A = this chain, B = another copy of it.
Amino acid sequence: MTDLDQNTEQLIFRAARKVFTLKGYNGARMQEIADEAGINKALLHYYFRNKDKLFEGVFGDVLKTLFPGLTNILTADLPLFEKIPLFVCQYIDILTNNPEIAGFVLYELRLNPQRLVGNMRDIGIDMNLIRSQIESEVAAGIIRPVKPEHLIANLISMTIFPFIARPVLMSVAGMDEVHYTKFIEERKRIVPETIIQSLKPIQ
Contacts and interface: CB of A to CB of B under 8 A. Distances in A.
Cβ-closest 4 pairs across A and B:
A157-B161, A26-B26, A197-B198, A26-B27
Contact of A166 (B110, B164, B175): B110
Q: Give the oligomeric copy count.
A: 2
A73 interface: no
A171 B123 contact: yes
A203 to B, nearest CB: 6
Interface residues of A, number: 55
Interface string A120-142: 10011101000000000000000
A181 to B, nearest CB: 13
Contact of A110 (B103, B175, B203): B103
Given A153-B162, A187-B150, A168 B106 contact: yes
